Amino acid sequence: MDLWPAVAVAALWGATAGVLVPRAAYRLSVEPEQSWRDRCPDGHPIGGWVGRARCADGRAYGPGTAAVSVVTALVCAGLALATGLRPELPVWLLLAPLGVLLTIVDFRVQRLPDVVTLPLAVLALALLGAAAALPEHAGRWGTAFLGALVLGGAYFLLFLVNPNGLGFGDVKLAPGLGAVLGWYGWGTVLLGTFAGFLFGGLYGLALVVLRRAGRRTAIPFGPFLIAGAFVGLMIGAYAA
């Protein structure tokens, strides 16, 4: 398969997978003591995980399906364009909808649910292990494993030093990000991590300038860590 058909297939996959994100995002946007939401604000049951969340009376809640599908499609197309036809591309395409899901949930409730973050590193390492067994891959599984350990440990130390500046959900997200960035080497780990902190810092500064937040106002940091990892992964994949 040539590159552009692969990009089109990746975009189609992203659009399809994006249909699963809105209802999951709404159901997972809950307080830490809850696993997920099974009822709408009026108490009507919400079942299933496909499409926008709707309760029994037909009212819809949470993010729109079309917008999320478009964003997920663009993310997957970008990853395909940067990675090409190498065997790690299916790994990025499988993980991308999870990144979109976590981004939406963290923006909505400033929380990264354990049900997604904790399996993320294990899933990333398992899938990359399979990719490493195939010819023409461009990364190293050993560096991905070490990246997960190092980034997870570094974020944990940051959390201990300044618990108000970094949430524990961010700490649990870090091993997964370290695994995907580490696949392309330590330079990619540094680039993706720096980009995440830069994006988060610029967002916080913009809120302060616009007087929508103070210097000590908590902001959702996970989306910017994910965005930074996306940028680092794109550059690392293109340069590999």
Q: What is the pTM of this model?
A: 0.94
For the stretch 214-234, pLDDT in tens is 767 778 999 999 999 999 999
- Nearest to residue 186, comparing CAs of 228, 129, 146? 146
Q: Residue 26 sits in which domain range? A: 3-239
Ranges 18-22, 39-43, 97-101, 133-137: which has the least confidence: 39-43
Q: How many domains does the chain have?
A: 1
Ranges 13-17, 53-57, 158-162: which has the least confidence: 53-57
Q: Are 23 and 63 in contact (CB under 8 A)?
A: no
61 forms bridges with which residues in the sheet? Answer: 53
CA 75 to chain centre: 11
pLDDT of residue 1: 63
For the stretch 29-88, pLDDT in tens is 988 777 788 787 777 787 667 778 877 677 788 888 999 999 999 999 999 999 999 999
- Nearest to residue 16, comparing CAs of 70, 64, 82? 70
* Non-local CB neighbours of 155 within 8 Å, separated by 6+ positions: 166, 170, 171, 174
Give the chain's count of helices (H) and strands (E).
9, 2
Both tokens of 134, joined, read 């195939």
For the stretch 183-215, pLDDT in tens is 999 999 999 999 999 999 999 888 888 877 776
Q: Are 168 and 161 in contact (CB under 8 A)?
A: no
